[in-house]
Amino acid sequence: MQTSALRTQRWIRRFVCLLSELCVLSCAASAYEPGKFYWQGKTQEKVIALTFDDGPGRFTVPILDLLKKHNIRATFFMEGTMVETYPEIARQVAQAGHEIGNHTYVHFNYRLAKNAAPERLTHELAQTEAALERAAGVRTQIVRMPHGYYNRTWLLPTLKEHGYALVHWSFGTDWHLKVPQEQMIQEYLAAAKPGAVFLFHDGGRRREKTLAVVTAVVEALEKQGYRFISAEEMFKGS
Ligand SMILES: [Zn+2]
């Protein structure tokens, strides 16, 4: 009796040890450091992170189809108001296993704020988290600022305080509606390099060209030996 009680105790101790080891491992595996600025991967491997902003929207689903066809996990930076408009699509993105980041609630251009606006940003991020929680049951770790806003004073400390990292991009041009499609494809291809972070937009009204450009860019770069990954995979451990 005593021996079996001792044995049980020993097993419990081993189990607790294993659990704490797993916890340490999973904490160490978290890709991002809060308050850190990421924009390009440090790798010699032919990998490029694909990121999509301003969604979800009506072009998100065809983009999901394209990613599925090529077996790509990408990153979607969603706007809170769009998540509330298209909760089903936000859920679809999450269910397809893509990474989701916070792109604020109303896409305010913080350059227009006369003073530091940490409270406004914190409020917008929380509104988007709530929308994402309701729609897709996800919580994000990363933020992409609307209009590529950046400052050295309050932005990173505010994000750090709330556990977020900032993810920018190394190349993107698809919002320029006047640039011809073929030229845009060539611009993305010219910007391809190991560790690149490409920005595209799945949200917005006129994204037919984006869809065509992403399709062509993915196909061409796969032929050159590139593999497409999420921001999370790109920045893991960097
Ligand atoms: Zn945006």
CATH architecture, range 32-235:
Alpha-Beta Barrel (3.20)
CB 185 within 8 A of CB 216: yes
pTM for the model: 0.88
What is the residue extent of each domain of the chain?
1-30, 32-235
> Which whole number is the average pLDDT over 67-84?
98
Residue 8 confidence class, pLDDT cut points 50, 70, 90: low
**65 is a catalytic site residue:** no
CA of 232 to the centre of ligand 1 (A): 19
Q: Distance (Å, rounded) from C-alpha 108 to C-alpha 113?
A: 9
Confidence of residue 5 (pLDDT cuts 50, 70, 90): low
Angle at 219 between CA 215 and CA 221, to 5 degrees: 120
Give the per-residue pLDDT at 150.
95
Catalytic residue among 53, 54, 174, 202: 53
Strand blocks (E) in the chain: 37-38, 47-55, 75-78, 99-102, 142-143, 165-167, 171-172, 197-201, 227-229
Q: What is the pLDDT of residues 87-100, one digit of tens each?
A: 999 999 999 999 99
Would the pLDDT of 156 be above 70? yes
Res 14 pLDDT > 70: no
The two three-digit tokens of residue 225, written as one number: 């030996």
Average pLDDT across the chain, whole number:
91
String of DSSP letters for 85-147: H-HHHHHHHHHTT-EEEE--SS---GGG-SS--HHHHHHHHHHHHHHHHHHH----SEE--GG
Report pLDDT for 211.
97
Q: With contact defined as beta carbons under 8 Å apart, do 34 and 127 qualify? A: no
| Known catalytic residue at 53 | yes
Which of 54, 168, 201, 202 is the catalytic position?
A: 201
Q: Among all chains, which residue has been given the structure tokens 């984006």? A: 210
Distance (angstroms) between ligand 1 centre and the Cα of 106 equals 10
Under the banding of pLDDT at 50, 70 and 90, the label for residue 115 is: confident
The answer to whether the Cα torsion of 176, 148, 121, 137 is positive or negative is: positive
pLDDT score of 26 = 45
The stretch 176-205 carries a mean pLDDT of 96
- The model's pLDDT over 217-232, given as tens digits with 9 standing for 90+, comes to 999 999 999 999 999 9
Predicted confidence band of residue 9 (pLDDT cuts 50, 70, 90): low
pLDDT at 104: 98
Residue 111 CA, ligand 1 centroid: distance in Å: 14
Report the C-alpha dihedral over residues 131, 136, 139, 142, rounded to 10 degrees.
-80
**Alpha carbon of 199 to ligand 1 centroid (Å):** 10
Question: What is the tens place of the pLDDT at every residue in 39-62?
Answer: 999 999 999 999 999 999 999 999
> What distance in angstroms lies between residue 10's CA and the mean position of ligand 1's atoms?
54
pLDDT band at 3 (very low <50, low <70, confident <90, very high): low
96/104 Cα distance (integer angstroms): 22
Residue range 57-78: average pLDDT?
Answer: 98
Q: How confident is the model at residue 25 (pLDDT cuts 50, 70, 90)?
A: very low
Q: Considering only CA atoms, which of 100, 157, 110 is closest in space to residue 132?
A: 100
